[in-house]
Amino acid sequence: MGSMAWKQLLLNALESNTHLKHSSYMQLATVGTNGKPSNRTVVFRGFQDNTDNIQINTDTRTRKIEELKLCSSAEICWYFTDSWEQFRINGHVDIIDGTNPDLLKLKQREKSWFASSTRSRSQYLWPNPGLPCLNEQTQPEMSLDPSIGPVDAFCLLILEPDQVDYLNLKSNQRLTFRSSLSDASKKCWIMERVNL
């Protein structure tokens, strides 16, 4: 019940804010290698098939990968400006790069690669992100065969939520959703209305 409730709230928010290009952008916070918070904006790439797991594409060479390898806990914060809704989604992140031994995960990575635009895919051919630029020129135009599968730098992140905090500032409503395992070891969600 709870999973469907928060996921439906999120799908509704996405739908009602779809006319705003930034509605697919969210912030992903991780624990930095120095133990301090580390935050950045990422793009929502949809839910993993038949789950409430959130997909994010990224570059294996970014700092967030190093941070997630040390601590897989992360939190998404997503604010929808038209509907005044905020979602804070806490969970653990699975890193799916080209070295992953799970064939099903590699197929999911490939599916996410081909779902991205050619322009987005070409960014994974650019020089290492976060390192100093060696020249003042703009990013080079790289030739990328659109039929070729994911390049080594492409990585799919899957955030498996275990807690969701929902805030609606128009209706002054705040709900929390917490996951737990049932006696049959099946994930279930508990919803609670809380004070703002």
Q: What span, in angstroms and rounded, lies between the C-alpha atoms of 196 and 113?
A: 39
- For range 136-153, the mean pLDDT: 76
Tell me what pLDDT residue 139 has: 58
pLDDT at 14 over 80: yes
Q: Identify the residue with better confidence: 136 or 150.
A: 150
What the block records as the tokens of 176 is 């929390």
- For range 86-114, the mean pLDDT: 97
Tell me what pLDDT residue 1 has: 47
* Cα angle: 72, vertex 74, 77; to 5 degrees: 165
With pLDDT > 90 as the criterion, what percentage of the chain qualifies? 76
Q: What is the DSSP letter of 98?
A: T
102-143 residue pLDDT tens: 999 999 999 999 999 988 898 898 887 877 877 765 655 667
* 91 in Cβ contact with 162 (< 8 Å): yes
pLDDT at 194 over 70: yes
Q: Mean pLDDT of all residues in the chain?
A: 91
- If one counts every other C-beta atom within 10 angstroms of the C-beta of residue 172, the result is 9
- For range 87-94, the mean pLDDT: 98
Q: Where are the domains of the chain?
A: 2-129+143-193
Structure confidence at residue 2 as a pLDDT band (50, 70, 90) = low
* Cα angle: 96, vertex 99, 102; to 5 degrees: 65
First CA to last CA across the chain, in angstroms?
A: 22
- For range 159-163, the mean pLDDT: 97
Domain spanning 2-129+143-193: CATH 3.30.300.30: no
pLDDT at 75 over 50: yes
Q: What span, in angstroms and rounded, lies between the C-alpha atoms of 28 and 77?
A: 7
pLDDT at 15 over 60: yes
